[in-house]
Amino acid sequence: MAEQLVELNVTGMHCNNCAMSIHKLLEKKGLQNVLVSFASEEVKFSTADQSLLPGIITDIENLGFHVVDDIATHKTPFYDKVENKFTFCALFTAPLLLHMLFPWHFLHNPVVQLILCLPVFLVGCFHFGKSAYSSVKGGVPNMDVLIFIGSTSAFIYSLVGTVQNLGVHYLFYETCATIITLVLLGNVLEKRSVNQTTSAVKDLMKFQQVNASRVTKDGIEIINAKDVIAGDTLQVNEGDQVPVDGEVLSGEASINEAMITGESIPVQKKKYDTIIGGTIVLEGNIKIMATKVGSNSTLSQIIDLMKRAQAAKPPVQKLGDKVAAIFVPVVLVIALLTFIITYFATNVGMQGSVMHAIAVLVISCPCAMGLATPTAVMVGLGRAAKNGILIKGGDTIEAVANTKFVIFDKTGTLTTGKFSIKDIEVAEGQNMESVRGAIVAIEERSNHPIAKSLVNGLSGLAKQKVILRSVAEEKGLGMRAEDVEGNNYFLGTAKLSDNDNFNLALYKNQVLIAQIAIEDTIKPDAANLIVQLKKMGIKPILLSGDKASRCASVAKTLGIIDVHSEKLPDEKLSVVDIYRKKGKTIMIGDGINDAPALTQADVGVSMNDASHIAIQSAKVILLNTDLQSVVKFLQISRHTLLTIKQNLFWAFAYNIIAIPVAALGFLNPMVGALAMAFSDVIVIGNSLRLKVKKVS
């Protein structure tokens, strides 16, 4: 049975610890492609057995979270919002701290301190205690275990001192309250910061929340874009946002497609042109027929791909995950040893020993390690998307690190794909009109750039169009067709021709009836791209099914040394494999014949105007046809990986330094709680720099 993607809306996740608890639970159950985002309150995973779903939902709710049907309509209770919990706790914690600054004797009263601390402690018990108990019960102890034990230890120690009237040296109510309040502050800051890292997806989702003007027999009906069905006729006026993907039925318009392609120059659209939902009509009015709606729309697929990309962990994250998985038990052991050694080997007594142990518990924070990779990946993916680069997986970012080779297909990648017919040579006894008619009839069934150019160039000249019964495209070879009279045609690469001036040959019943010479132009930014790749230490390779002479000409113009020409799809696969054995290899292509090679490469990159199969095979899609997107993609990926490594370094260094300092008694538990909260913010802040930092 094929695996299906399951999406759940889960409320009650306040920080990355919550997300990690659910993530570990689902992985322990053997589920694949697990994605848990506390910022968007989403949980995704793949399973082949849908009957497991009710049990999985129950297990998630047993951890202290809630699975809801629709996150948009769900309202979080006032008392359950982490911001409100922090505000409530801060109001009671402030007076507890003031007694250390001002000589207000009533604040030194143990009973007053108990009364002030108790509400904060209860909030902490429900917030951290519930999560801690559920995580231990589920066999995946999280950071809340440390917070709960630390704050509870301080509270009970103080309560005993109050009941037995042991004096001010046994009162640490402010430590208990401050730990809880500062960690809640960290949760608030963490959630707000991570919300910024997911802004790219949220910005795209806003484009879906529009109305549409549906044309009916009674006039115009205003409906929500999500209610549009394929085949509906929609009126889109100047200034409107196109609600769904469609095809222009009438009118002309200038469209801003920047949100999809990153290209700021408006695109003119006329009858029969395709139009993408979410783009803006700058000038003109058009009627369109809805073609792709709901989850099938281009915008929905981009949003879904970006969300799934966050689930693909780069290998660099595995170390962080392994450490975080054993972190809590190790910290508990260190805290216990700290208490025992301090109590029996020093003269600080019970009070000092407890404080040292509590400091170890609250300073230890695997949150930063857990946040190090996903925050950087989310920001990197978002920046790439805003530059017209759609990256399908977070693991792709690391896969392009240390790239040695970039292999280019020629037609439609390094060249414009817009061809002009230079010459048609008809065999003796053949009629030019019938040849033109056969070429147009066959090629109008293909999406290949050469086919489109042939149809555009000959459609006005083809007076005797052949009526075809069937047409089939063969990868890397050409088109086969049969007309209604039973004649068989083949139109494809002129590989058997002795004349290099001709690119294509047309056969009728296995007899050569015409040869076609076509010209392609090199993209204006191709030469600059090759120069930049060489500066980055990357070797460009040309791999094409076209003739050797034409490939050599393009390669010479662009400065490419290694050329592989006249290659069929399976031969392209072999070439890619050869380079992969030498180093990290990227393949950039656009045709059906490139699909296997795109899959075989470490990273396949497809142009947006490529065939559907090529786009599905690639890991990266360049929505903007500007080749500079290739360099931008490499630069963003490199800086994202650099940011991940920086984050992991600071996260590890923080804990390596902080835990011994706390164990030796040089760190107050309250300072530890504050430092722990801001360690997350430092990591997130470093990730957010990716939004604006120069990546050249």
CA separation, residue 389 to residues 392, 485, 508 (Å): 10, 48, 43
Q: Could you tell me if 619 and 391 are in contact, meaning their C-beta atoms sit under 8 angstroms apart?
A: yes
Question: According to the model, what pLDDT value does residue 571 have?
Answer: 82
Q: Give just the sign of the alpha carbon dihedral 187, 193, 198, 202.
A: positive
Q: Could you tell me if 25 and 60 are in contact, meaning their C-beta atoms sit under 8 angstroms apart?
A: yes
Task: Give the ranges where 241-293 is alpha helix by DSSP (H).
Answer: 258-261
How many helices and strands in the chain, by DSSP H and E? Answer: 23, 24
Q: Which residues pair with 322 in a beta bridge?
A: none
Structure tokens at 186: 């960290």
Structure tokens at 271: 């009858």
C-alpha to C-alpha distance for 35 and 44, rounded to whole angstroms = 5
Cβ neighbours of 209 (radius 10 Å): 11
pTM over 0.85: no
**What is the number of alpha carbons within 13 Å of residue 91 lying toward its C-beta?**
7
- Reduced DSSP (H G I as helix, E B as strand, rest coil) percent helix, strand, coil of the chain, to 5: 50, 20, 25
Label the pairing between strands 478-483 and 488-493: antiparallel
Q: Could you tell me if 611 and 451 are in contact, meaning their C-beta atoms sit under 8 angstroms apart?
A: no
Cβ neighbours of 51 (radius 10 Å): 7
- Which CB contacts under 8 angstroms, 24+ apart, belong to 324-327? 324/20, 324/366, 324/369, 324/370, 325/24, 327/364, 327/366, 327/369
Q: Could you tell me if 673 and 182 are in contact, meaning their C-beta atoms sit under 8 angstroms apart?
A: yes
Q: Could you tell me if 595 and 614 are in contact, meaning their C-beta atoms sit under 8 angstroms apart?
A: yes
Closest by CA to 414, choosing from 279, 605, 259, is: 605
Structure tokens at 378: 């989310």
DSSP string across 205-225:
HHTTS-EEEEEETTEEEEEEG
CA separation, residue 3 to residues 48, 50, 316 (Å): 4, 9, 27
C-alpha to C-alpha distance for 252 and 257, rounded to whole angstroms = 15
Give the angle 515-521-523 at the CA atoms, nearest 5°. Answer: 150
Q: Give just the sign of the alpha carbon dihedral 75, 79, 80, 83.
A: positive
Q: Where do we find the tokens 């080997």?
A: 345
Closest by CA to 659, choosing from 643, 679, 686, is: 679
Q: Which residues pair with 46 in a beta bridge?
A: 5, 32
pLDDT digits (tens, 9 = 90+) for 127-158: 888 777 777 776 667 667 777 877 887 788 78
C-alpha to C-alpha distance for 503 and 276, rounded to whole angstroms = 34
DSSP element (H, E) containing 21: helix 16-28
**Which residues are within 8 A (CB) of 539 and not within 5 positions of it... i.e. 6 or more apart?**
404, 405, 406, 533, 562
Question: According to the model, what pLDDT value does residue 611 have?
Answer: 47
Domain with CATH 3.40.1110.10 in the chain: 420-519
**Which residues are within 8 A (CB) of 421 and not within 5 positions of it... i.e. 6 or more apart?**
453, 454, 457, 458, 516, 517, 518
Question: According to the model, what pLDDT value does residue 50 have?
Answer: 79
Cβ neighbours of 267 (radius 10 Å): 16
Buried b / exposed e over 160-183, threshold 16 CB at 10 Å, is: ebbeeeeeeebbbbbbbbbbbbbb
C-alpha to C-alpha distance for 372 and 414, rounded to whole angstroms = 37
Question: According to the model, what pLDDT value does residue 203 have?
Answer: 63
Domain with CATH 3.40.50.1000 in the chain: 385-415+522-630
Structure tokens at 656: 């390596």
Domain with CATH 3.30.70.100 in the chain: 4-76
DSSP state at residue 15: S
C-alpha to C-alpha distance for 373 and 651, rounded to whole angstroms = 11
Question: According to the model, what pLDDT value does residue 416 have?
Answer: 77
C-alpha to C-alpha distance for 105 and 110, rounded to whole angstroms = 11
Backbone phi and psi for residue 154, each to the nearest 5 degrees, phi listed first? -65, -40
At residue 59, what is the residue type? D
Question: According to the model, what pLDDT value does residue 224 have?
Answer: 86
C-alpha to C-alpha distance for 444 and 424, rounded to whole angstroms = 18
**Which residues are within 8 A (CB) of 331 and not within 5 positions of it... i.e. 6 or more apart?**
146, 360, 361, 364, 659
Cβ neighbours of 192 (radius 10 Å): 13
Question: According to the model, what pLDDT value does residue 613 have?
Answer: 52
pLDDT digits (tens, 9 = 90+) for 186-217: 677 666 655 654 555 566 666 677 888 898 88
DSSP string across 92-126:
HHHHHHHTTTS--GGGG-HHHHHHHHHHHHHHHII
**Residues with active-site annotation:** 409
Label the pairing between strands 4-11 and 42-47: antiparallel
C-alpha to C-alpha distance for 38 and 18, rounded to whole angstroms = 7
Q: Could you tell me if 542 and 564 are in contact, meaning their C-beta atoms sit under 8 angstroms apart?
A: yes
Provide block-wise average pLDDT over 10 residues at a time, the chain (696 residues): 76 71 81 75 81 86 79 69 89 81 72 91 86 72 74 81 74 79 74 57 68 87 87 90 90 77 65 85 89 79 60 51 66 86 82 78 64 76 81 74 88 75 85 86 79 79 78 80 91 65 85 84 87 92 82 89 83 87 87 68 75 61 80 89 85 79 74 66 82 80
Cβ neighbours of 612 (radius 10 Å): 11
C-alpha to C-alpha distance for 597 and 613, rounded to whole angstroms = 12
Q: In the CATH scheme, what is the code of domain 420-519?
A: 3.40.1110.10
CATH architecture classification, 4-76: 2-Layer Sandwich (3.30)
State the fold for domain 385-415+522-630.
Rossmann fold (3.40.50)
Question: According to the model, what pLDDT value does residue 315 have?
Answer: 54
Question: According to the model, what pLDDT value does residue 311 have?
Answer: 47
Question: According to the model, what pLDDT value does residue 104 have?
Answer: 65
| CA–centroid distance for 655 within its chain | 29
Q: In the CATH scheme, what is the code of domain 229-292?
A: 2.70.150.10
Segments of 427-535 assigned E as strands: 468-474, 478-483, 488-493, 504-508, 511-519
Question: According to the model, what pLDDT value does residue 573 have?
Answer: 81
C-alpha to C-alpha distance for 158 and 170, rounded to whole angstroms = 6
